[in-house]
Amino acid sequence: EAGVAQSPRYKIIEKRQSVAFWCNPISGHATLYWYQQILGQGPKLLIQFQNNGVVDDSQLPKDRFSAERLKGVDSTLKIQPAKLEDSAVYLCASRPLSGTEAFFGQGTRLTVV
């Protein structure tokens, strides 16, 4: 079974630039999560989708972050404009509707300079 795919693995940008991350969840998984993990901390949930609808985006900084999951399959997370404090690993995870286990991708490491 293919896992959660994320790209790119690494990205370095200057502050005030824009960046986008892509996630392809495991086939058939209705729930998709984006997390931000700052060095030394646990992952923080940014947004949760159920199919193509948002069910929780309470911790997403909406003035600069946006996410979409068109057609309920793959998803894109965008930051515009980036700040130094956005340097982190961005993790995508997916889970089947009736399952208990969330499956994580390897993440995208973003460095903002």
Partner 1 sequence: DAKTTQPNSMESNEEEPVHLPCNHSTISGTDYIHWYRQLPSQGPEYVIHGLTSNVNNRMASLAIAEDRKSSTLILHRATLRDAAVYYCILRDPLAGGYQKVTFGTGTKLQVIP
Taking the least distance from each CB to partner 1, the nearer of 55 and 84 is 55
State the number of binding residues for partner 1 (CB under 8 A): 26
Applying CB under 8 A, among 25, 29, 107, 110 the residue interacting with partner 1 is 107
Residue 106 binding partner 1, by CB under 8 A: yes
Cis amide leading into 96 (omega within 30):
no
HSE (side-chain half, CA atoms, 13 Å) at 42: 1
Binder among 15, 16, 44, 83 for partner 1 (CB under 8 A): 44
Q: Output the smallest distance, CB 63 to partner 1, in A.
A: 22
Of positions 41, 63, 70, 71, contacts partner 1 by CB under 8 A? 41
Q: From residue 110, how far is each of 9, 28, 39, 54, 92 by CA, in Å?
A: 9, 28, 11, 24, 14
CA distance 15 to 82: 5
20 contacts partner 1 (rule: CB under 8 A): no
